[in-house]
Amino acid sequence: LPALIAGNIGGGAYLMQSLGRLLALAGIMAVLQYAARRYAHGSGGSGRAALESLALRLPVLGELMVRRQAQVFFENLALLLGSGVAMFDAVPVAVDTLTVEAVRDDYGQLLPRLQSGQTLAQAVSALAYPGNSAVVGMIATGEGSGELPQLLARYAQAEGKLVAERTDTLATWIPRLLYVVLAVWMAQGIFAGFAPVTRPDY
């Protein structure tokens, strides 16, 4: 804007510059939405693992991804155990329902631990991605009381609702935050253009 007022650039150039920033933001959002759709359909090719690895490192999104995956695992495990499927048979089936490679590999270590004599609570406590850590104590209670499938089902239902609410909140606020960042970025450019120039004394 200062350059436009000073006559250093024309109106067309200023418009293109402003539109360029808006288009860049729109492009970023479009790429994120496209990646999310491919991820939801289980596609992504060779870049899927890299995208997952990056997402898992993000402070809020990473936590939600892990908790969602854990919720899916325990929900399916509860259904299988409640249907009378043996633990050693139910665990690998529940693991196969996970879609994030790093989490699936982590949960793939549960069966060997169980076969070595560990309880499910002990095996889950050693996971790198347990989701909500409170699940370990709940599992121990379920194993001790003989009501593991019921407690797992209750946990999965409550956790699923919580994760869905937080995901909706995140989806609502991310576009707003991006627009705020863009507004601040453009404001900085405007104020920088009006900053006084200090001339050296001769």
User: Taking Cα atoms as reference points, which of 200, 179, 183, 181 lies closest to residue 191?
Assistant: 183
**pLDDT for res 61:** 80
Residue ranges of domains in the chain, CATH in brackets: 2-57+171-193 (no CATH), 61-165 (1.20.81.30)
Q: Average model confidence (pLDDT) for the chain?
A: 78
Indicate if the pLDDT at residue 74 is higher than 90: yes
Q: What is the pTM of this model?
A: 0.66
Which alpha helices (DSSP H) does 41-147 contain, by range?
A: 47-57, 61-82, 87-95, 101-107, 110-115, 120-125, 135-145
pLDDT digits (tens, 9 = 90+) for 80-92: 999 999 999 999 9
Ramachandran assignment for 200, one of left (phi > 0), alpha (psi -120 to 50 degrees), beta (any other): beta
* pLDDT for the residue numbered 3: 45
Question: What's residue 4's pLDDT?
Answer: 43
User: Residue 37's pLDDT is what?
Assistant: 55
Dump pLDDT digits (tens) for 153-190. Answer: 999 999 999 988 888 877 675 665 565 655 665 565 55
